[in-house]
Amino acid sequence: MVAQVIDGKAFAAKVRAQVADQVGKLKEENGITPGLAVVLVGEDPASQVYVRSKGKQTVEVGMNSYEHKLDAETTEEDLLALIAKLNNDPDVHGILVQLPLPKHLNEDLVINSIDPAKDVDGFHISNVGLLGTGQKSMVPCTPLGCLMMLRDYHGSLSGMDAVVIGRSNIVGKPMAQLLLGDSCTVTIAHSRTKDLPDVVRRADIVVAAVGRPEMVPGDWIKEGATVIDVGINRIERDGKNKLVGDVDYASAAERAGAITPVPGGVGPMTIACLLANTLTACCRANGLTEPEGLTA
């Protein structure tokens, strides 16, 4: 079997177009422009790239982008004061604090100071609790993007065996909750899982979110399974820098029914879902109907 490639780049473009269309309608019919505030503390090079990309795409879909760049020595008090200001700003519908924060800042405290209704990353404990109890919440962007691609490919996921490799708060755990919400039988595997190959071989859906280059070889994949590779790993091969996922793409593509590539799979969906979440937050804040297909 040669796997169908799930093209995350094309899918993300579709999501962005849908968001842009809805933003146009919001402006025209309601005079409202959704706004996303991104807060960056310090000068981490990867974070700077992400923030620039988020700002650019926010503007491209017609939303307002507010960037707050604070120096690495910013105090917790000043950061919390900025978040309080953004929480009270009616033009700001989404707030994202770029992680990781410098060591002297308490990440949990900072994230939990964001108004849950504006928490477009879905990391606030209220949103985590709402997702865990199957209630309407803001859903973390990367798992939301994975879910959208799975639903698009399969239609219903009901009754499927899914394995999520990785139990982080930002990917693994919310991914498992979302799959459970779509009636999969879910296994969460992690660094202490016994006989991981055997666990993966039973799965109709494999979501790999570990951060170890090509750790899942093709012979772990059940024939015809759907593989969603969240991992982004920079390696050097043949003297060149390369991005690879957590799955060995070449051998997995020979057994899977469908697979996301790295790059061009889950990555582009993450920012598209951030924009979708900002639109959703804006609609909820204004008591308007949420756009279909952009939330869990």
Q: Which CB sits closer to ligand NAD, 206 or 230?
A: 230
User: How many other C-beta atoms can be found within 10 angstroms of the C-beta atom of residue 11?
Assistant: 20
Q: Does 273 bind ligand NAD (CB under 6 A)?
A: no
Q: What is the C-alpha separation between 8 and 266, in angstroms, rounded? A: 6
Q: Does 118 bind ligand NAD (CB under 6 A)?
A: no
Q: Is 201 exposed, middle or buried (0-12, 13-18, 19+ CB in 10 A)?
A: middle
Residue 65, annotated ligand binder?
no
Close Cβ partners of 74 (under 8 Å, ≥ 6 residues apart): 41, 102, 105
Stretch that binds ligand NAD, among 17-25, 34-42, 205-213, 253-261 (CB under 6 A): 205-213
Q: What is the C-alpha separation between 183 and 156, in angstroms, rounded? A: 9
Q: What is the C-alpha separation between 72 and 42, in angstroms, rounded? A: 4
Q: How far is the CB of 165 from ligand NAD (least distance, A)?
A: 5
Q: What is the C-alpha separation between 67 and 244, in angstroms, rounded? A: 30
Residue 158, annotated ligand binder?
no
Token duo for residue 166? 């990785």
Site string for ligand NAD, 120-149 (x = CB under 6 A): ----------------------x-------
Which residue in the set 35, 94, 172, 261 belongs to the binding site for ligand NAD (CB under 6 A)? 172
Q: How far is the CB of 87 from ligand NAD (least distance, A)?
A: 25
For ligand NAD, how many residues bind (rule: CB under 6 A)?
A: 24
Q: Which CB sits closer to ligand NAD, 235 or 250?
A: 235
Edge-first strand order for the sheet with 258-259 is 4-5, 258-259, 226-229, 205-208, 161-165, 185-189
Q: Does 92 bind ligand NAD (CB under 6 A)?
A: no
Q: Which CB sits closer to ligand NAD, 74 or 218?
A: 218
Q: How far is the CB of 2 from ligand NAD (least distance, A)?
A: 24
